[in-house]
Amino acid sequence: MSEHVLSNAKLVFEKEQFKGSIKFNNGIITAIDKGTQTSKKSIDCNGDFVCPGLIELHTDNLERHMEPRPGVTWPLDAALLSHDSELASVGITTVYDALRVGSIISETKKSYPKYAKKIVKLFLEMLKFNFLRVSHFIHLRAEICSETLIEELDEFSKEDRIGILSMMDHTPGQRQFRDISKMAEYLKGKYSMSKNEINEHFNLLYQLQEKNGKIHTQKILECSKYLNTVLASHDDTTLNDVLSSKKMGVKLAEFPTTLEAAKASNKNGLMVIMGAPNLLRGKSHSGNLSAIDLVEEKTLSILSSDYMPSSLLLGAIKLGIISEDMCYGIATVTSNPAKAMGLKDRGVLEIGKRADLLRFCLYKNKPILKQSWLRGSKIIG
């Protein structure tokens, strides 16, 4: 790779930002200088922002490409390539793709088969041939309230790039769906389930929780240790939920549903992840905690695009604006997720780190992505 210089840029670091230039060669940042000087060999950024590439820890966007309409399945290789391109187009340079493990195969309208291992195998093949535009790892979302979790987890090995294992429990009446009317509304809207079908589904979930809850939780802990993953909780609601998560070795608190749980997570050393769509909309789609409520005390550590990849940079900028600290906003999608995952080679503008970079400007307080680089190779612009 040839040497590149971005000059006259507003460089965003963890604790400060200043006008300067950044040089990278062979995929590595080699120099950072203050000042607005330009040269014929440099790219004049005209005062645009330059920050590290975005790091996404939880997105189930791939599932949307796999099933673009209810009941419509798409070829997996086409879905994966489309998903990868979408991430690249919005500034995400590292992603932990969230794949569900733990299925329901009983004959109900809400049954769903396993798919995660098939996707991981395809990922590894595409990585081998350099077909993907961004850096991919795997986040297994382990559904406790399911029928096949143990056998699905047993399919994975240390070679499968599993970085995160999260514990999910969608039993009606607790965590994400404390308000079961919200869950009923979701099932009716997405799957056109009748009231009787919803009640039957709820009863099945109650039975699965009673039968499998404890053994599935233990299996997740064993698997996380074997695969050497970061362990995440999901939708912690009470102080007891948080203390239980901490006792089990959880490092990431994904989408706590109450202010009490979010503050307790932060106090107990768990990094709090909230959805960027939640922040942008000003409320949770499930009727739970609003991410904006965590901004003043900076309890929110990491933003995730969740189901909308384009929300990640948008959310980081909005967070920077409302907190009056752009470095904080950008850190929630760069350096903080890098720290959470032990990624010591990226996430900050620093000599010797990977040249995963974004260049963007603001228009009406919204980011316009102009260029991006992965390991010094341009992927956008």
- pLDDT of res. 307: 93
Q: How far apart are CA 30 and CA 355, in angstroms?
A: 9
Regarding pTM above 0.85, the answer is yes
Segment 343-347 long-range contacts (CB within 8 Å, at least 24 positions apart): 343/55, 343/94, 346/52, 346/53, 346/55, 346/93, 346/94, 347/52, 347/55
Q: Please report the pLDDT score of residue 60 as a whole number.
A: 93
pLDDT, residue 211, reads 79
The answer to whether residues 207 and 233 belong to one domain is yes
Same-domain pairing of 64 and 89: yes
| Rounded Cα–Cα distance for residues 84 and 135 (Å) | 9
Task: Give the C-alpha separation, 379 to 310, whole Å.
Answer: 16
Q: Are residues 36 and 91 located together in one domain of the fold?
A: no
Do both 92 and 173 map to the same domain? yes
E strand or H helix at 321, and its extent? helix 311-322
Q: Which two tokens stand for residue 295?
A: 């901004």
Q: Answer yes or no: do 71 and 105 share one domain.
A: yes
- pLDDT by residue for the chain (381 residues), tens digit each? 578 999 999 999 999 999 999 999 999 999 999 987 777 789 999 999 999 999 999 999 999 999 998 789 999 999 999 999 999 999 999 999 999 998 887 656 566 688 999 999 999 999 999 999 999 999 999 998 888 899 999 999 999 999 999 998 866 656 666 666 666 666 666 666 777 776 776 777 777 777 777 899 999 999 999 999 999 999 899 999 999 999 999 999 999 999 999 999 999 999 999 999 999 998 776 667 889 999 888 899 999 999 999 999 999 999 999 999 999 999 999 999 999 999 999 999 999 999 999 999 999 999 999 999 999 999 999
Say how many Å lie between the first and final Cα of the chain, rounded. 17
What's residue 36's pLDDT?
78
CA gap 297, 259 in Å, rounded: 11
Instruction: Give the per-residue pLDDT at 296.
Output: 81
Do 67 and 201 fall into the same domain? yes
Q: Give dist(CA 97, CA 95) in Å, integer.
A: 6
CATH at 371: 2.30.40.10
Q: What is the pLDDT of residue 285?
A: 64
Judgement on whether residues 61 and 45 belong to the same structural domain of the protein: no
Same domain as 262, residue 152: yes
pLDDT of residue 124: 96
Instruction: Name the E strands within 248-297.
Output: 252-254, 271-275
Residue 85 has a pLDDT of 97
Is the domain of 212 the same as that of 237? Answer: yes
Cα torsion through 101, 104, 105, 110, rounded to 10 = -120
- How many CA atoms are closer than 13 Å to the CA of 132, on its beta-carbon side? 21
Please count the structural domains in the chain.
2
**Residue 112 belongs to domain spanning:** 57-345
Cβ atoms within 10 Å, residue 294: 21
Residue 374 vs residues 64, 86, 179, 254: alpha-carbon distances, Å: 25, 15, 43, 27
**In the prediction, which pLDDT does 107 show?**
59
CA distance 111 to 305: 26
Q: What is the CATH number of the domain that holds 127?
A: 3.20.20.140
C-alpha angle 125-127-132 in degrees, rounded to nearest 5: 120
Instruction: Please tell me whether residues 251 and 321 are part of one structural domain.
Output: yes
State whether 48 and 69 are in the same domain.
Answer: no
- 2, 136: one domain: no
- 196 exposure class (CB count in 10 Å sphere: 0-12, 13-18, 19+): exposed
What is the three-state SS of 182-241? HHHHHHHHHHCCCHHHHHHHHHHHHHHHHHHHHHHHHHHHHHHHHHCCEEEEECCCCHHH
